[in-house]
């Protein structure tokens, strides 16, 4: 069992969740509440990582994180660190490839909230912020939880992109899924099995927690 890889995987998944919670909320809220030209394109770009082959995404990310590129170069001059093949780069990439998994469920749940409830809140004297925190956020909660779990599981399981832009550097970018691949190649089938079962268990537990939670929530509010 490669504990280091498990730790990196969990750290990456949790950090990605923590980053995508505000990013996803902001994007999905804006998308659900405003109409503007290019909204469709905007939604398409966010959904793109869902349909792109990991290799294509990995290639673009690799090119853009490279120290010769704008982003990669700026990061190097800012921090002295390289983005490509670093944990930070992997984190950044995870935010991008998990973006649709975070935004889509949140967007759907915001869209499902009847506009009257918002207006009713305003007419009841609630400011827009209070309306968001007391009405919209609680009502979108199941979608937000789903988004976080999908982000978590997807980040935990991503392989192609991680291999392309993270390489396979122990203690830095070797996630559990890469470690599994590596141990299969090294004929360490027992290890591979252990790690695969671990990933399976984590995925199963998180997803069942969400389903149970969402069902209870839905039952409570009969939404």
Residues lying near other proteins in the complex (CB under 8 A) are found at: 4, 7-8, 10-11, 14-15, 17-18, 62, 66-67, 72, 82-86, 114, 116-117, 119-127, 134-135, 138-139, 148, 167-172, 174, 182, 184-187, 220-223
CB of 191 to other proteins, least distance (A): 12
CB-based contacts of 118: which residues, under 8 Å, 6+ apart? 131, 135, 136
**What is the closest distance, in whole angstroms, from the C-beta atom of residue 62 to other proteins in the complex?**
6
Nearer to other proteins, 39 or 130 (CB): 130
Q: What is the DSSP code string of 75-92? A: HHHHHS--STTSHHHHHH
Q: How far is the CB of 91 from other proteins (least distance, A)?
A: 11
Contacts for 46-49: CB closer than 8 Å, 24+ residues apart: 46/99, 46/100, 46/103, 47/100, 47/103, 47/104, 48/100, 49/96, 49/97, 49/98, 49/99, 49/100
Instruction: Indicate the residue among 24 and 46 with the shorter CB distance to other proteins.
Output: 24
| Residue closer to other proteins (CB basis): 86 or 153 | 86
| Residue from 215, 47, 33, 46 nearest 142 by CA | 215
Minimum distance from residue 76 beta carbon to other proteins (Å): 8
Nearer to other proteins, 27 or 144 (CB): 144
Q: How far is the CB of 199 from other proteins (least distance, A)?
A: 17
Nearer to other proteins by Cβ, of 18 and 197: the residue is: 18
Question: What is the distance between the alpha carbons of residues 206 and 141, in angstroms, rounded to a whole number?
Answer: 16
Residues 6 or more apart in contact with residue 89 via CB below 8 angstroms = 65, 72, 82, 83, 165, 166, 173
Query: What is d(CA 195, CA 176) in angstroms, rounded to the nearest whole number?
Result: 7
Between 124 and 212, name the residue whose CB sits nearer to other proteins.
Answer: 124
Closest approach, Cβ 128 to other proteins, in A, equals: 9
């Amino acid at each position: 069992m490669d504990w280091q890889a498990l730790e990196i995987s969990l750290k990456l998944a949790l950090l990605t969740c923590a980053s995508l919670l505000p990013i996803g909320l902001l994007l999905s809220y804006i998308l659900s509440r405003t109409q503007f030209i290019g909204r469709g394109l905007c939604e398409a770009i966010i959904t793109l990582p869902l349909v792109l082959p990991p290799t294509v995404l990995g290639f673009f990310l690799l090119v853009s994180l490279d120290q010769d590129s704008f982003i990669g170069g700026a990061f190097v001059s800012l921090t002295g660190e390289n983005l490509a093949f670093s944990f930070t780069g992997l984190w950044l990439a995870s935010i991008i490839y998990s973006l649709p998994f975070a935004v889509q469920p949140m967007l759907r749940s915001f869209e499902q909230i009847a506009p009257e409830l918002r207006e009713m809140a305003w007419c009841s004297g609630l400011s827009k912020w209070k309306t968001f925190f007391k009405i919209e956020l609680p009502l979108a909660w199941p979608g937000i939880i789903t988004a976080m779990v999908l982000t978590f599981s997807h980040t935990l399981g991503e392989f192609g992109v991680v291999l392309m832009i993270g390489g396979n550097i122990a203690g830095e970018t070797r996630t559990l899924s890469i470690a599994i691949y590596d141990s299969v190649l090294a004929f360490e089938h027992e290890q591979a099995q252990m790690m695969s079962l671990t990933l399976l268990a984590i995925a199963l537990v998180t997803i069942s927690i969400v389903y149970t939670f969402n069902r209870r929530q839905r039952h409570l509010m009969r939404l």
